[in-house]
Amino acid sequence: MAVHVAAIDFGTTYSGYAFSVSSPETELKNVEILSNQIWNSGTAEVASLKTPTCLLLSKDRKVSVFGYEAEEQYANIVLDGNTDDYYFFHRFKMNLHNNKKRKVFWNGKAQCTKIFNPFMEINTSISLGHTIRKTYSTDGETGCVISVFITDKENAMYTDTDECTFLGKLRICISNTERRKRDMKAIFNFGDTEFSMTVVDLESNSETKEYFQIQR
């Protein structure tokens, strides 16, 4: 009879799993531990040992997809304007913590500020010209500013702690004189000597390009 052992790590930012199959007589030091070596991030074309802790549920609250697939599918759902038919959760482990000091209200809904939301995992290998797509919202009159942080911690949660270091910022410039919620698609571009971001205003379909300003 074989001994089967499985472990699942639901991290704040990323999740993964490992397992082993061995005979009862096998010494612990000789047990071979296996894990998924590549999580494919879809259109982002990133190979990673872990996948984002993101969950997408259908309208009847059944699990649709998890991880990179959840991020990718929800981005397309936002573009199609079908968000009422799905539930998207990410970094939901933070609900176990007391975040009253970071709690704010935006568009009548409770939000958490200063969240570290990674778009590139440490030690990830990428090719020249690689892009990553994210969706953001703003109600600012002239757009908003995306602050970029780095960390060497695997499960960093907030940008206002010593776990994260401020690296610089990207400014999204769109005209929004009515100061209502506007959704934007941000495409991060990794070039040879520069890091830039192309922003598409999903309402007007206008496109702008911004370059990263390192301020360390």
What is the average pLDDT across 89-113? 68
Q: To which residue do tokens 């911004």 refer?
A: 210
44: pLDDT strictly greater than 60: no
pLDDT at 41: 62
42: pLDDT strictly greater than 60: no
Q: Give me the chain's average pLDDT, please.
A: 78
How many domains would you assign to the chain?
Answer: 1
pLDDT at 56: 92
8 falls within a domain: no
Say which residues have a Cβ less than 8 Å from residue 107's Cβ, sequence separation at least 6. 139, 181
> What share of the chain has pLDDT > 90, as a percent?
1
16: pLDDT strictly greater than 80: yes
Q: Which helix (H) or strand (E) holds 24?
A: none
pLDDT at 49: 75
Half-sphere exposure of 180 (CA within 13 A, CB side): 2
198 falls within a domain: yes
DSSP state of 202: T
213 falls within a domain: yes
pLDDT band with cut points at 50, 70 and 90 for residue 192 = low
pLDDT in tens, 132-164: 777 777 766 667 778 888 888 877 888 888 888
- CA torsion angle for 74, 65, 102, 105 (degrees, to 10)? 50
Number of Cβ within a 10 Å radius of residue 168 = 15
Q: Give just the sign of the alpha carbon dihedral 155, 160, 165, 167.
A: positive
75: pLDDT strictly greater than 90: no
Number of Cβ within a 10 Å radius of residue 179 = 11
Judged by DSSP in three states, 45 sits in coil
Beta bridge partners of 63: 57
Distance CA 211, CA 215 (A): 13
143 falls within a domain: yes
57: pLDDT strictly greater than 90: yes
Beta bridge partners of 171: 145
pLDDT at 215: 54
195 falls within a domain: yes
Residue 182: CATH number of its domain:
2.60.34.10
What is the average pLDDT across 105-109? 68
156 falls within a domain: yes
Half-sphere exposure of 195 (CA within 13 A, CB side): 12
126: pLDDT strictly greater than 90: no
Judged by DSSP in three states, 84 sits in helix
Distances (CA, A) of 161 to 122, 153, 158: 18, 12, 6
pLDDT band with cut points at 50, 70 and 90 for residue 94 = low
Q: Give just the sign of the alpha carbon dihedral 17, 22, 24, 25.
A: negative
Distance CA 16, CA 37 (A): 10
Domain housing 164: 104-216
73: pLDDT strictly greater than 80: yes
pLDDT at 122: 73
194: pLDDT strictly greater than 80: no
